[in-house]
Structures are given as C-alpha cells and as structure tokens.
Structure 1
Amino acid sequence: MMSFAIAAVILGALSPVTLFVLYNAPPLGSANAILGHSMMLLTHVFAIAFSGIMANRRLLDLLRRMTGRDTTARAVLFSWLGGNLFLGAQLAWNLRPFIGSPGLTIQFLRYDPLRGNFYEAVWRAFRHLFL
C-alpha cells in the first residue's frame, strides 16, 4: 500500500505537466488532432510508468531488510515492477474510452472494446509523433 500511496502523490505532482500538455495540444476539430492525442497518450504513459517505478523503488530498502540479500531484493523488485507495468498497461487500455480518440464519436462503451492492445496503441502514438 505504501508504494501505491507514493505513486498517487507523484501522479498528483505531475498533473500540472499533463494539464500543460492538454492545454497546448491542437484542438480535437483540427487537422492535427491525432498529434495532440498521441502526445497526450504518451505523456500519460510516461507519467504513470515513472510514478510506478519511483514508488516501487522506495520498496527496495524494505525488501533488502526483509530478505537480507541484495540480489533477492532486486529480483523481487523487478518481478513486481514487471507485473505492475504489464498488468497496469492492459488495465489502462481497457479504460481507454475515458481518453477518447480523434475521429470517433464520444461514447462510454465502444462496439469493439477488446480490439487491439496497449502496446499497439503506444507504438502507433510514437509513430505519429516521431516517425
């Protein structure tokens, strides 16, 4: 629970950054709406991943004290991080209607809720911005 509380504090601290990106993104009705959407998506991915990694990093000292060995503590930390990042990413993908997509009508439940996955969406957003 301690790591989730720390992650929440870090996310709260990063909220002005996400608001800045949101307010400076192109309007949804413009031709560059996909760039704004991609930037917002990648900003959220970075903020959530960063806060999760930093919060779980704080657990390393506790794990070292509990296990008595640095290698065991690091193995537990990396497996915990991997599970959190993988499962958290897919959970966020299932909640994607709350961010929306340019070109689609606003709707709470989509007709294809399980089409695609998180990693495909991040790759497409990265391609729109940088390639």
Structure 2
Amino acid sequence: MNLTQLAAFFDRQHTPVDGCNLSAQEAAITAHEKFSPRPFCLVSQWTILDLHVGDEELNALRSRGLEPVVVYASCVVLDSRRRYQPSDWVRSSFQTSYEAPSFFLTKNTVYVLLGRGKRQVITVDDLSALSGQ
C-alpha cells in the first residue's frame, strides 16, 4: 500500500472516538499501575479497526479469546519495552478486551489511546494491505 492508498484508506467513513485525555506521563503511570506487569504502548493518531469477518472466522477468533478488532496508530509516543521508537507506526494484534475510552488490550500489550481517534470497519484484504502482506 503506497502513501496515496494509505491516505485514501483512512479518509473512508469513520466515527470519531475520544481516547485518554491525560498527559503522556500521567497515562504511562496509570497504565503501569493499572496493568502491571503487562507492557504498554502509548499511541496517538490512532484508529480502531473493526475487521469484517464471516461467522467461521469470528468463531475461530472468539474461541481463542480474541475479537476481530485491531488498533493502527501512526504515532507511537512511548513503548514501555522500547520495541518501537517515538513516532514509529504500530498495528496491534487482535483485541482481548477494551476499557473505554482509552485502554485497548491484546494478549501481550495494553495500548493507551491518547487524544481523539477514530473507528472504522475494514475488510481482511484492507488489513492485509495495511500490514504489507
């Protein structure tokens, strides 16, 4: 997916969503206190992507405790394990739970959604293109 396609992808119909209104420092402290010892990743410029899947795929994910939802963020603010550098982009794995308005949990990481973001539905093909697969 080139930059033009990526921009068009994120200009599709979406719903604005509020995230965490804390400063990055306050959000890091909160994530550490609330979810320790799990690693966390503070992100901005984020989109919650609801993956449109069939019943078979949905059942397969749910049988593993997962939901067909991922987060794509074009700006990592802080990663507690330093897997990503500030300003890197990141795409999460599938959601295990979501504590609105700002904590998106996967099996391995808590993503703290800073500021305002958006939510949109995508297809499996969109997700593959976004992931570069």
TM-score (norm 1): 0.29
Instruction: Identify the structure with the greater helix proportion.
Output: 1
Q: State which structure, 1 or 2, has the greater radius of gyration over its C-alpha atoms.
A: 1
Name which structure has the greater RCO, CA cutoff 8 Å, separation 6+.
Answer: 2
Instruction: Identify the structure with the greater strand proportion.
Output: 2
